[in-house]
Amino acid sequence: MTLPRDMSLYPNPLLSPAQKTLAQSVSCTGFGAHGGKQVTMTLHPASAGSGIVFERTDLSPWYNTLPARWDYVRVTPLCTQLVNEAGVEVRTIEHVMAALYASGIDNAHIALNGDEVPLMDGAAAFFMDLFEEAGVEALCAPRRFLKVSQALDVREGAAFARLEPAASPAFQITVAYPQHGIAPQSHGFDFGAQNFRDELAACRTFGFEPEIHALREKSLTLGCDLDNAILVSGEGAVMNPEGLRYPNELARHKLLDAIGDLSLAGGVILGRFSGNRSGHAMNNALLCKLFATRDAVQEMHPALPASFRATRHETHVSA
């Protein structure tokens, strides 16, 4: 790959060969999806090769950083969380990670004054708007691409998550909740041909009314409401007054989650992900298997032309 000076020649920022970061810091304040506590998140620019790193500013600086990597993941049925060697955690990272990945942002320092990323709109559109306000800087360093060399999967009954070779990052998922009156839904997305903002960014997280009381007794879903989440009744009816944004919005959101989970590979995966009733735990198990399987993935760093200079595009930030 070669990189032209004009970054606009890459309409999909994920596929440009140069690493990127934010052009300036930007903040937001909201409530955690599960703990329901108010938290402020500030995203700062970071140097090439530093990756995405979370910092818990409410804790001692000796042990409060967590790299956003697959080998720091602890999963629950409801979210993906990072845990470092000291037991410090940051949870519900999947939506902001999907937004960073889709925006082509490889490096950022994310400061949080709590243990959970704010839910905001329950999807990724709010975060993408935030990054656009901050602007994006192309760095004079090649991006890390991870080319899937062989097919592999993880399975549990009928559920599975699979990666196989492909020319560009592509995702497909099927979900089904017959116990809640939801027929199977599917959606596919290819970063080489489709626009993340149009297809997935606005697709909200969701839950089922018969389970909410039990979850809240466990201090879960305390920050969710009809403004940031889809609520489905026991009979399969959508309880949000405005209804769904897409007929298959549940499948699209699960695909958004999968993109956020697989972004923790630490590079752009050149491969096709497919999932059937897969969730956060299975997505991470797939990454673990990818990196544990000999010759399953090839690391690539496209050369940048000698004439390349980092480009900077900034707009006013109202944080």
Catalytic residue list contains 280: yes
pLDDT of residue 315: 35
pLDDT of residue 311: 55
d(CA 255, CA 174): 9
SS3 of 289, please? helix
pLDDT of residue 213: 87
Per-residue pLDDT of the chain (319 residues; tens, 9 = 90+): 333 333 343 457 888 889 999 999 999 999 999 999 999 999 999 999 999 999 999 999 989 999 999 999 997 778 999 999 999 999 999 999 999 999 999 999 999 999 999 999 999 999 999 999 999 999 999 999 999 999 999 999 999 999 999 999 999 999 999 999 899 999 999 998 899 999 999 999 999 999 998 999 888 899 999 999 999 998 899 999 999 999 999 999 999 999 999 999 999 999 999 999 999 999 999 999 999 999 999 999 988 867 666 554 433 333 3
Is there a contact between 174 and 186 (Cβ–Cβ < 8 Å)? yes
Cα 36 to Cα 63, 117, 177, 211, 253: the distances in Å are 24, 11, 26, 17, 21
d(CA 123, CA 205): 6
Annotated active-site residue in 280, 301, 313, 316 = 280
Q: What is the DSSP letter of 126?
A: H
- Supply the pTM of this predicted model: 0.92
Residue whose pair of structure tokens reads 């735990």 in the numeric block: 281
pLDDT of residue 77: 72
pLDDT of residue 310: 58
Which domains does the chain possess? 7-143+303-313 (3.30.230.20), 146-300 (3.30.1700.10)
